[in-house]
Every structure is written in structure tokens, then in C-alpha cells.
Structure 1
């Protein structure tokens, strides 16, 4: 595993007006940097490897950028800028400070039921807004939910497609998504997909937040796909409390038509929260407070050291449709049963973890004025530490 590193002599000093501060990580098709805009805004700048740039790659990248430009909402990490015709092509997205859901659960354990209900209401409302824009996410998973200081945000819409379109940016005979969070019709290669695939994926994400498990888990991808697509194999809801079991079971229904609409999901989670004597806003504040300043690691676990993101089997996003007589991914593409592996998913404390400086006594003489602290030099150790906080979803998991 490689830690986040400073820029190498081969790295450009800036891309598209963003000054590059450090390397975040490297995926199969791109390098990701921590960048800073002329006005001081931080961004994740993704760059396609020059060796992979051709006309087809540029076309696909341009199509994905056009999709990203249409996605907006308070709970969606924002598209900032991009240039698919540049040398090399690049994309800048909003920086969100905070761990992703998978890292948080791996390091600190599952969330309390009422906070899972809050997370569910927030994300369901966000996805419903995305659907109103005519888009599907198609790859919602714990690693694509950032637990920021202002609440959760959804990231990585690189696999999104227009809901009414039967076309896709992916090659024929492929299924795009993460197997453990993939709806049965998506695993079967049905096109066009509907909003129900995101409802299913959200149910899988919330089940993971609540239990640390996915609806279906297997050591072999053949078995996993069979479990997901078999109508006679129900999802594993062991450990789900009674107040959340009905809504999660309905979201994970095998038939797309049996799943509730996302506005209905919001109302069901709202009822769960209010039954606990809380208002929805109170529950969200509790969720944000917990995930922004998490408790000590769960017994028997330690918060791993911060490191650069790297690909893991659980985050594979493109798998071959298991057609009769055709080939399917190797077992290495799917993690073994049990809690998701988290060796490469670490929690980075936020500023709330830093102890406050005590105030001086009331009768203390005023401190002499001091000159403003100079701005730290760019590409400093502080900048590199900040870079380490950028989430894995900004790195190797991107579709490019």
C-alpha cells in the first residue's frame, strides 16, 4: 500500500488553472491530485494517463462530463470544471472533507438504527432529486457516500446514465455497478434500467451501515450472481431491528416494481425517527456530529493509518454479464463473506478531533498584537496532510 505522496518531477505544476499540491492516488486509467483554484478552493483533479488517451477515450470522457454537468443538489458533490480535449484530459470535482461510509463502519462499527434512518432519509431525498433530473446513479455503494462535516454527500456519478435512455457509456454485454449493491435486473443486464435500481442500492448501503454486511455475500462471483438474481434467495436481513426491517426489505425486493418510490422511503424513515421522539433535523445533526467526530474504534479494532486509496475487490465497478455459456469475472473480483475488507479504507479525523485551545482568564492582560501568520508554502507537509483526507472515491474507483 502506498501513502499519499508529494508531486514527482514528472507531474505538471498546474492543470486547467488548478495548482497541484500533492498526489492523492493512482488508478488503472488515471492519476488524482489535490488541486487548488486561483481563489483558494480545493478540488480533486483527475487526469487520464497520456498513454491511454485516444479518440474513443476522449469521447467517452466527454460524455461522462456532460452527464456530471447535469447533476446538482445539496447532497451531491459538485462538478467544478473539466476539459476532455486537453493534453491530458482532466476533471475537477468538489473536495469533501470526511470519511466515506465504508471507512467509517470498518473503523468504528455500524451506526445506530435511528442514525441509519436519518442517513436513509437524507440519501433517498438526494437520489429523488437526481431522478427528477432524469438521471440514475447506478453505482451507489458505501464508498460513494461521504460523511462530511455538513452531512452526507453522494459522489462519483461517472457511471450515471439518463433514466429514459437504453444506451450506455459502457461496452455491450457488460454490467456496470458494484456486485454487492447491484439490483437483480442490473445484474441480469436488463436495459434500460429504472429508478428502482438506485432504491435497491440505497437499501444495500443502509444495510451495510446498520450491520456491516451486504444483502448477499459470497466468496465466488458465480455464487454471488446466482444469489442476487435468484428470486427464491432472499437478502440476509439478520440483525436488522424491527423498526427498520419493513422498509429495508421492501427496498431490497427482487422485483423492481415491488420496491417503494424514494419519496415514500423518505417518509418511512421519517416515521422511524419521529417514533424515537426526535425531529428529522435533530437526527441529522446527531448523525453529522457522530461521523464528523467519531468515537473510539470498536473493540478489537484500531483506526488504521492514513494512506492513499487503492483498488479493492469490493469496489470493482465493471463486471461481465454472466450470460449462459459466457465467461464471468474470476472469484478475485468479489470479496469473501463477512464484513467488508478495510485494509485500504481508513478514517481521517476532521478538524473537530483537534482539542480546543483553552481561553485565557478573564483578568489576563491582552496579548500583544502579532503579525499575521504567513501562508504556508504550497506543496508543504500541511498540504500533503490535507491531501491524505481526500476520499478513495476520488481516486482509483473513478470510471476513467
Structure 2
């Protein structure tokens, strides 16, 4: 593996690297092209931040991805956790993240928030049935793809309890006192480092839907991370539901209950959200079509990929893309930046 003057490697595993998609504190994601021309997202640990714990967590992420199937998740392709720099390839999902879409276009209508939540509840159910908890559900990790919302980034996913306990007891995947995940959407029990159940992902879903509907997270006006942790942990601090449409208050407030036992299971949460869709006079299929039409402004489709030559990798370039007919006329360059945003927001690993 060699890198061009931009620092982007020419090849990772069997994939030629076309460009950088995004990077976070611990990892980098590239657009990779297989020998047969298949596009994938190739994820690799940063060199400077790489240690034994990162390798172990990366291996667990690969194992988690292998168990997850369904139309609402980005699927695993292949990877090598024992490589000099571990890497994995997963399905490439063009589209804006929910976080970037709201920043660019504003909040979603109540029925659109409700159907998105119901769809994601079904996707999370398949994740839980595989014996996993996502543990880092947030707007940054929801991609508004052409066929609907998808969950990405399983870097913090938990496998079955026995395997996790074994890894943590050996000190391979967590340092004492370390809280993994994004505080803004984190359940109280996760901040407290208590044992987690599916209810933690229910809370994350509620926080994500609150952001989609209002543009803010459950606990606001915290001056420091410590203050934010205090607010999340305290049963006396109620989530900020200001700006939330009255139709959505009951399901989202229930998902954000402080006590995990008070939160609905995913099926019940999905049913509450579908009631909102029904009261809006829409069938689930009609609502899904409207959601896809609404969020198409964040999706661009590639029409041509020019593979970088093996001996002389092409420097980083702008993506060649066109906008679908339903996209507002903001220019292909902006659409291309949104295309990369699906992997550019938040920590990659």
C-alpha cells in the first residue's frame, strides 16, 4: 500500500481507493473500487491512534457487522483485522446523514419523523435479534438513502454479553472510567456505565427523532461535558421537548424515559409512531414515499467513476455526480459534498 501526495492510500486490501469519504478521531473511511468495479466504503484505523485496544475493538466491530442483516443497515463485505493496519469494507450508502440534512434543510414534518422512527425501529429490531446493541445511535449515524433511512457505524456495537464481558475483563476493549459513545444521544444508564439492554438503543432512537423534529437534543444548555453528563444522569432533569409537535410528544417522551424499564420496547414504540402517521391521514407506504421524496435533496448518484491507476494514484478530486430530478437546484458540487457527509460526521470508529 502506497499513498499519493494527499496521504490517501492507493490500495487497501483488494480495493483501489478513489477518494476520502470522511474521517473521525480514530479512523478514516474511503471510497473503494473492487477489481470488478463495485463501490464500497473502506474503513481503516488511523496510524497515529492505533494500539492493541483499537485492534481488538475493530475486530469486534467486524464480528458485529457479520451478524447484521436487513435493508436498514449497511452490510459487511469483508475485512482483515490482522492486517498491519486493520481494515474492513462495507456497503457504500450514498446519501446525507440525518444530522447534515437537518442542518441544510431544517426539521422534518411530524409524519415524516414518525415514519422514519417506525422504519428505524424495525431496523433496530433486526440488530437486536442478531444479539447486538448499536450503542451509538444518533443523527450522524443515520443515512437518508434513496430507499429510506439506514443505520451505519457499528464501531461501538456490543456483541452478546458473554463475549463482551470476556473482552472487557481482559482489558482489551475498554479502559476503566472510559465512556464510549456520543453524550448528546446517550441513555442515562450508559453514562452511568451500568449494564445495557435494548432500552439504551430505544433512548438513542428517541433522541435522534427529537433532533429530526426540533433540531436539538434531549439535554440542552450544558456548558461542559461534565454538566451534560450530570443532566443526563439525574432523574430530576427532564428532556427538553420544546418545539416538539404535540402528536410526537407521547412516543418520544416515552422513549426518553429516565428509567429503562419505563421505555417502550421497539415494537410498541413503532406502533405509537405509526399511530401518528395514521392520524396524519397517510398509510405507512404513502408516508415512506413522502419521506424518500423529501430527503432526496440529500442524495446524489454517481454516474461515472474513473479508477485511479495502480502506479500513479489520482490526487483527491471533486466527486462527479448528478442530482436526481427531485433534488432542489443547489448544484452538483454541493450534492457531492452531501454524498461524502454520510461518513464524515462524528467519530468513524
TM-score by length of 2: 0.84
Does residue 99 (structure 1) correspond to residue 96 (structure 2)? The answer is yes
Aligned to 1:81: 78
8 A Cα contact 2:22 2:30, kept in partner: yes
TM-score by length of 1: 0.74
8 A Cα contact 1:99 1:148, kept in partner: yes
From 109, 114, 139, the counterpart of 2:111: 114
1:13–1:271 Cα change, 3 Å = same
Deviation at 1:52, TM superposition (A): 4.6
* 1:285 partner SS: helix
1:375–1:160 Cα change, 3 Å = closer
Structure index of larger Rg: 1
Aligned to 1:253: 257
Could you tell me how far apart the structure 1 residues matched to 2:157 and 2:213 are? 26
Aligned to 1:393: 343
Could you tell me how far apart the structure 2 residues matched to 1:150 and 1:274 are? 21
Aligned to 1:213: 216
1:149-298 correspondence to structure 2 within 5 Å: 149-162=146-159, 164-165=161-162, 167=165, 168=168, 169-191=173-195, 193-217=196-220, 218-293=222-297
Aligned to 1:298: none
* 2:228 partner SS: helix
Deviation at 1:267, TM superposition (A): 1.0
1:33–1:8 Cα change, 3 Å = farther
1:221–1:48 Cα change, 3 Å = closer
1:382–1:292 Cα change, 3 Å = farther
Could you tell me how far apart the structure 2 residues matched to 1:55 and 1:180 are? 28
- Cα deviations across residues 25-75 of structure 1 (Å, max 9, x unaligned)? 443333332111122221121222345545444333222211221122110
**Once superposed, what is the RMSD of the aligned Cα atoms?**
2.5
1:227–1:27 Cα change, 3 Å = closer
1:255–1:222 Cα change, 3 Å = same
Aligned to 2:330: none
Deviation at 1:113, TM superposition (A): 0.2
Could you tell me how far apart the structure 2 residues matched to 1:84 and 1:12 are? 18
Residue range with higher mean Cα deviation, 176-185 or 252-261: 176-185
Could you tell me how far apart the structure 2 residues matched to 1:225 and 1:55 are? 28
Aligned to 2:40: 43
1:140–1:38 Cα change, 3 Å = same
* 2:28 partner SS: strand
Aligned to 1:299: none
1:355-374 correspondence to structure 2 within 5 Å: none
8 A Cα contact 1:31 1:48, kept in partner: yes
8 A Cα contact 1:21 1:384, kept in partner: no
